Amino acid sequence: MTKSLTMNKANANRRTFLKESITTAAGLVIAPALPAAVLSTAVPTLTSAGPVIGHALAPRIKFAVIGINHGHIYSQTDAVTRGGGELVSFYAPEADLVAAFAKRYPQAKLVRSEQEILDDKSIQLVLSSGIPVDRAPLGIRVMKAGKDYMSDKPGITTLEQLAEVRRVQKATKQIYSIMYSERLENRATVKAGELVKAGAIGQVIQTIGLGPHRMNPKVRPAWFFEKKAYGGIICDIGSHQFDQFLFFTGSTKADIVASEVGNVHHPQYPGLEDFGDVMLRGDRGVGYIRVDWFTPDGLKSWGDGRLTILGTEGFIEIRKNIDPGVHDNTGNHLYITDSKETRYMDCAKEPLPYGEQLVNDVLNRTETAMSQEHCFLATELALKAQKQAQRLDLKV
């Protein structure tokens, strides 16, 4: 719809964390549809694209899941299912996480080991949202087994892991995809991509990506507070923003101008970084990124995620998750301003093509969902920004 505008115990916490994180499983997509009081406990029956039943393409590939430590695995699974994938099996060592996943996908067989999936020649694609530091090593094993791989973000947590992933991917020719859900699973951002491609705001000069999140420390597993496990705040939630910067500016090369991180308000969690920001310069545009864990409880969403895309002939602003005071408790809002007017677009019914594109790529050995170089470059930039970040020492 378009209209003119006139105006720390991991085991004990796993199940609660899973329920909380499922509400954010599509990045900045589903949470705004739920009241604030429900956000930390509800297990929604709908995915970011609506019910899987009746909306999925006929199965064209078989896929499996290994590792379900973050609720993003639900949107990953649903995206591939919508695109024509058949979930046949899964493996995870945590009994409570297994129970929740099996309830959601009763058609999938729980196997006894990761190796059973790697040895199953009928499986073409493996998905994972394991603990972040474990995702790249798993992806390497998956590719060596002759299967394609789709990881939750961050899909890689160190530059050393990235080098090995690149080496194995080049040798095996398998797909290593990272689901940057703030773009791929957010309908307003998908629509913005169409508008930019059509030249609606001219040549993109800059992107400004803001990725705030709510802490909910009582329901987080132990690894959430261990920097080695999650890679640092820029590596983790900042990876979304690097993907969007490259996509919207069209940059194929970029450098980190400056970056900084800090734990400015949570000294009780010394391994946590609760704030980070980055300035970067590409060959076709510049960008600014800010990520944090400071969403207050008063917001009816876990994060007011925003993206501004500045072009030579206009700009686009996206309220991914919520638009406070205007479209309360809903997301997928897009504003576009050009030489004639400002327009508002409700993008709630825009299609999400990533799952279908990835299934097509698995079958056709193409790169329509995301080029392999784009996938790796977005991660490389996040890892470099994380590694060279100056440490903040604010007195708050």
pLDDT tens for 64-106 read 999 999 999 999 999 999 999 999 999 999 999 999 999 999 9
Mean pLDDT is lowest, of 3-7, 244-248, 278-282, 359-363, for 3-7
Which DSSP string corresponds to 311-353?
ETTEEEEEESS-BTTTBTT---EEEEE-SS-EEEEE-TT----
pLDDT digits (tens, 9 = 90+) for 334-393: 999 999 999 999 999 999 999 999 999 999 999 999 999 999 999 999 999 999 999 998
Give the closest residue to 362 by CA, choosing from 14, 125, 37, 50. Answer: 125
Which CATH code, of 3.40.50.2300, 3.40.1350.10, 3.40.50.720, 3.90.1150.10, is assigned to 11-182+363-368?
3.40.50.720
Identify whether the C-beta of residue 302 lies closer than 8 Å to the C-beta of residue 31.
yes
How far apart (Å, rounded) are the C-alpha atoms in residues 282 and 260?
A: 19
Q: What is the average pLDDT score of the chain?
A: 88
Contacts of 106 (CB under 8 A, 6+ apart): none
Q: What is the pTM of this model?
A: 0.87
Reduced to 3 states (helix: H, G, I; strand: E, B; else coil), residue 160 is helix
How far apart (Å, rounded) are the C-alpha atoms in residues 138 and 157?
A: 13
Tokens for 196, please give them: 């930019």
Identify whether the C-beta of residue 71 lies closer than 8 Å to the C-beta of residue 22.
yes
Which DSSP string corresponds to 108-158?
SEEPS-HHHHHH-TT--EEEE---HHHHHHHHHHHHHTT-EEEEESPS--S
pLDDT digits (tens, 9 = 90+) for 294-328: 999 999 999 999 999 999 999 999 999 999 988 77
Residue 67 — left, alpha, or beta (φ > 0 → left; ψ -120 to 50 → alpha)? left
Arithmetic mean of pLDDT, 117-131:
98
The pLDDT-based confidence of 31 (bands split at 50, 70, 90) is very low
pLDDT of residue 55: 61
Instruction: Determine the distance from the C-alpha atom of residue 273 to the mean position of all C-alpha atoms in its chain, rounded to a whole number.
Output: 18
Residue 62 has pLDDT above 50, yes or no: yes
pLDDT of residue 54: 39
Arithmetic mean of pLDDT, 186-195:
98
pLDDT of residue 39: 25
Give the closest residue to 166 by CA, choosing from 386, 377, 365, 359. Answer: 377
What is the residue extent of each domain of the chain?
A: 11-182+363-368, 186-353+383-391
Bond before 44 cis per omega within 30 degrees: no
Tokens for 353, please give them: 């093509």
- Beta-sheet strand order (sheet of 306-311): 2-4, 342-346, 333-337, 314-319, 306-311, 204-212, 286-292, 275-282, 254-262, 390-391
pLDDT of residue 259: 98
Arithmetic mean of pLDDT, 183-192:
98
Give the closest residue to 100 by CA, choosing from 1, 181, 21. Answer: 21
Backbone angles phi, psi at 78, to 5 degrees: -70, -35
Assigned CATH for 186-353+383-391: 3.30.360.10
Give the closest residue to 346 by CA, choosing from 329, 330, 358, 364. Answer: 330
- Beta-sheet strand order (sheet of 61-66): 109-110, 85-91, 61-66, 125-128, 148-152, 176-179
Give the closest residue to 143 by CA, choosing from 115, 162, 168, 177. Answer: 168
Any idea how long the chain is? 396
Arithmetic mean of pLDDT, 155-163:
98
Number of H helices, E strands in the chain: 13, 16
Identify whether the C-beta of residue 19 lies closer than 8 Å to the C-beta of residue 70.
no
Identify whether the C-beta of residue 275 lies closer than 8 Å to the C-beta of residue 392.
yes
